[in-house]
Structure 1
Amino acid sequence: MRPSTAEFLHQRFLSYYAGAQIPAPDALSQREWGFLFFSSRDDPRMRRHIGFGTKDELVEYLRTMAPAHVFYSTAYYDDPAAPTMSAKGWAGADLIFDLDADHILKPPFPSYPAMLSRVRDETRKLIDLLVVELGFAEHELQVVFSGGRGYHIHVKALSVRQFTGQERRELINYVCGIGLDPALLLRPAAESSGGWHGRQLRALEEYLDWLESLGESEALAHLQSIPDLGRGMARQIWKRRRSLFEMTDASIRKVLRPLLSEGNDAWRSRIREAGVMADEPVTTDIKRLIRAPGSLHGGTGLRVTVLEPRELEAFDPLIEGVVFAEREIPVEVVRDCRVSLLDHDLQFEPGPTRVPEAVAVYLCSRGMAEVGGVAP
């Protein structure tokens, strides 16, 4: 990034923070803050171990420094500005779930709008699971568009604030369907269509339909490739594929454990899709830094935006996350790219052009363009 482009972005962020109403997190004085700056692109180390006693101090810092990225701790500390983690005095942490396109999708990635739509679907699935199955109240959930490629969910319930990393691991394992016992399929359930009992049953039906679609030869080759299954059991499964649950408990347990194991990629992918594709390390980390709502994402120029769960369906991040104006800015596009912001759907080739300010900030933040150049 050229110095002139970094300065352009810094000035645009300064203009935003000069008038923005930035919400302070609960217990502001117990939060650690961290920042990255446009001027430090050659030195990517975060400036952290910073604390603010009041919201006015936080706002003044943002208006003066205009950082590219703003983070605060999900944890509460006795002394958040202490220079080492051990000296801070951990006093609890919010429960956080992170849903990001990098974790949900595989290359080649779709367009940015399609990517965000897919992550929103996963976020909606997580909200339903947290409320219906884990018993959190909707008002205890704060949904946040990250300003980048996904959403965060902050669970504000006091009941989970003191959870250890291991306790949070148990929650995220349930949410994602990690470590499921295939024997769950055999246990009677009050509502067979609900929870993981229902999800496993539906996933097994889809898997067996897929297996049948392969035809006998290819299906047997797939089954025999599963560790610990063997040729004889593969033939038994193929023969009984439509009547597995008519087998005795002992026989079906012997079949299900290798068939529905981690070594069966076709099954594992279906279970992964049945659960929520959240980023597990974010949830288990009790000292995590997370993007601050109301701040700007230095990789897009979009606002980190807070939503009520009921607002998610109608929320359009490429309209409601945009904070910059329509005035035209000359830029030098450096590679072929496409941008969808506000009501603009623009295709670019390398070379000079003029674009709306919001598009210029996005292009420059993404490294797709440099500010300036001779506009046609």
Structure 2
Amino acid sequence: MNERTREYLRGRFGDHYRRSDIALPPAASAREWGFIPFTAGPGTTMVRHKALLDLGDLSAFLVDTCPRHVYFSAGQYDDPGTHSMEDKGWRGSDLVFDLDSDHLPNVDPETDTYAEMLSTCKDALLRLLDFLHGDFGFDPERTSVVFSGSRGYHVHVREDDVRTLDRDARREIVEYVIGEGIDDIDQLTRVETVAGMGTKNPVEKRILKTEGGWGRRVHDRLVSVTESVQAAERSDAVEQLRAFDGIGEKGAGKLYRTMTERSEEIANGNLDAGKFIHRLAQRLFERAVDEESVPIDEPVTTDVNRLIRLPGSLHGGSGLLVTPLAHEEIEAFDPLVDAVPSTFEDAEITIESKTEQAVQLGGKRHNIQAGNDTVQESVGVFLMARGRAEKAPE
């Protein structure tokens, strides 16, 4: 980014902040603040260990400083402005989750478009919220969701019970969400002893824990497969069951018979209802972890001193708005439309692009010519912030 581009962006960021009213996070004065200015050179300079008192009025600070990025801490402290972490006097931290689209296992940044990557990331976000609300029981009213302004989403849980969790406890939450440390279906079962038939000794049965968590997820899949098998012709059902690893034609036939004759026991979570049910449940568990786990950024969640991007600020690497979202807004939210700042929508600017390129922004496809090209300002800001164009001389 050359000096002309940097000064242009800095000035327009300041114009945006003059028109904005950014809400402070809860307990803002107890948090550490940091920012990255628009500095010359290829690197960035993080200014941190600031208290809100050091910054003064937040709106005035943003207008005067025009930072490239703005952050506040997940942690709350007695003295947030001191430089020593040990001397800050930690009181507790929000539980924060970070989802980056280019870190997701089913995303290829080389072939997927930016819009496709963000759509995949939203799917992961919805799965994460299902864990937080369904499995952990966190209150949606105390769980805030924020589009990061670039690659994905942040989630802040501000429950009293989680504030004082240490790194190890937070790591356990991460491991649960990503499905780590659970590799066998028997870890999701309990053993019940029932009376045997006639003079037989009591029998132990493995019962899937269906009340919640990963057990519920596997149970839902097992019941769904059972219902599908019952609704199909025998030959089709057997073929469907043979698709699972480790289940051949003979095993599929036995499974079909169990599922049609003992479906109530399966619905009750009995993995010993018939031969091969346990094996099928193991395969379904593996699929559940593969398809429903959420690859969150572990260091963000486990770091009680983490700085996280300020909702309502601009992301200096995209020019998009770091957008807080109500839960009912998430499904319909389109970051490449809804996070485009209105400040940059009404004017055109001329940029320099080394290559021809295309940008999907504001609900339109913008084809950029190599050399000088006049574009909507939001498109120009986006490309300049991402290092894909420079501001053309006036």
Indicate yes or no: 2:210 matched with 1:191: yes
Indicate yes or no: 2:360 matched with 1:360: no
Cα distance in 1, alignment partners of residues 286 and 213 from structure 2: 17
Deviation of residue 189 (structure 1)? Answer: 3.6
> Any conservation in 2 of the 1:28–1:54 contact (CA below 8 Å)?
no
The residue type equivalent to 2:27 in the other structure is A
Cα distance in 1, alignment partners of residues 330 and 36 from structure 2: 28
176-185 or 302-311: bigger deviation: 176-185
| CA spacing shift, 1:248–1:30, aligned 2, 3 Å | same
Deviation of residue 85 (structure 1)? Answer: 1.4
Q: 1:14-43, CA deviations, whole angstroms, 9 ceiling, x for partnerless residues?
A: 101122111111111111111112224434
Match of 1:157 in 2: 159
Match of 1:320 in 2: 338
Match of 1:176 in 2: 178
Aligned Cα RMSD in Å?
Answer: 3.2
Cα distance in 1, alignment partners of residues 176 and 5 from structure 2: 45
Indicate yes or no: 2:64 matched with 1:45: no
- Match of 1:367, SS state, is coil
Deviation of residue 369 (structure 1)? Answer: 0.6
| CA spacing shift, 1:365–1:240, aligned 2, 3 Å | farther
- Match of 1:67, SS state, is coil
| CA spacing shift, 1:211–1:62, aligned 2, 3 Å | farther
Cα distance in 2, alignment partners of residues 210 and 17 from structure 1: 58
- Report the TM-score, using the length of structure 1 for normalisation: 0.81
Query: Which structure 2 residue ranges, 5 or more long, are not aligned?
Result: 191-206, 226-238, 256-270
> Any conservation in 2 of the 1:147–1:305 contact (CA below 8 Å)?
yes
The residue type equivalent to 2:72 in the other structure is Y
- Match of 2:39, SS state, is helix
Query: Which structure 1 residue ranges, 5 or more long, are not aligned?
Result: 220-235, 261-266
Match of 2:118 in 1: 116
Match of 1:232 in 2: none
Deviation of residue 248 (structure 1)? Answer: 9.3
Deviation of residue 301 (structure 1)? Answer: 0.4
| CA spacing shift, 1:2–1:54, aligned 2, 3 Å | closer
> Any conservation in 2 of the 1:352–1:373 contact (CA below 8 Å)?
no
Match of 1:293 in 2: 311
> Any conservation in 2 of the 1:109–1:115 contact (CA below 8 Å)?
no
Indicate yes or no: 2:325 matched with 1:307: yes
Match of 1:83 in 2: 83
Match of 1:226 in 2: none
Match of 1:222 in 2: none
The residue type equivalent to 1:35 in the other structure is F
> Any conservation in 1 of the 2:209–2:216 contact (CA below 8 Å)?
no
> Any conservation in 1 of the 2:145–2:324 contact (CA below 8 Å)?
yes
> Any conservation in 1 of the 2:217–2:288 contact (CA below 8 Å)?
no
Match of 1:16 in 2: 16
Deviation of residue 345 (structure 1)? Answer: 1.1
Indicate yes or no: 2:136 matched with 1:134: yes
- Match of 1:61, SS state, is helix
Deviation of residue 106 (structure 1)? Answer: 3.4
- Match of 2:181, SS state, is coil
- Match of 1:294, SS state, is coil
> Any conservation in 1 of the 2:77–2:90 contact (CA below 8 Å)?
yes
Deviation of residue 337 (structure 1)? Answer: 2.6
- Match of 1:136, SS state, is coil
Q: 1:221-278, CA deviations, whole angstroms, 9 ceiling, x for partnerless residues?
A: xxxxxxxxxxxxxxx77687646966999x999x89xx98xxxxxx978624221222
- Report the TM-score, using the length of structure 2 for normalisation: 0.77
| CA spacing shift, 1:77–1:357, aligned 2, 3 Å | same
> Any conservation in 1 of the 2:3–2:40 contact (CA below 8 Å)?
no
Q: 1:302-325, CA deviations, whole angstroms, 9 ceiling, x for partnerless residues?
A: 111111112111222222211122
The residue type equivalent to 1:147 in the other structure is G
Deviation of residue 162 (structure 1)? Answer: 0.5
The residue type equivalent to 2:330 in the other structure is L
Deviation of residue 338 (structure 1)? Answer: 2.1
Q: 1:168-189, CA deviations, whole angstroms, 9 ceiling, x for partnerless residues?
A: 1111211121111411355424
Cα distance in 2, alignment partners of residues 358 and 107 from structure 1: 23
The residue type equivalent to 1:100 in the other structure is D
Match of 1:4 in 2: 4
| CA spacing shift, 1:270–1:159, aligned 2, 3 Å | closer
The residue type equivalent to 1:61 in the other structure is F
Q: 1:65-117, CA deviations, whole angstroms, 9 ceiling, x for partnerless residues?
A: 11101111100111111112122111100001111102212343411122111
- Match of 1:34, SS state, is strand
Cα distance in 2, alignment partners of residues 54 and 373 from structure 1: 37
Deviation of residue 211 (structure 1)? Answer: 11
- Match of 1:87, SS state, is coil
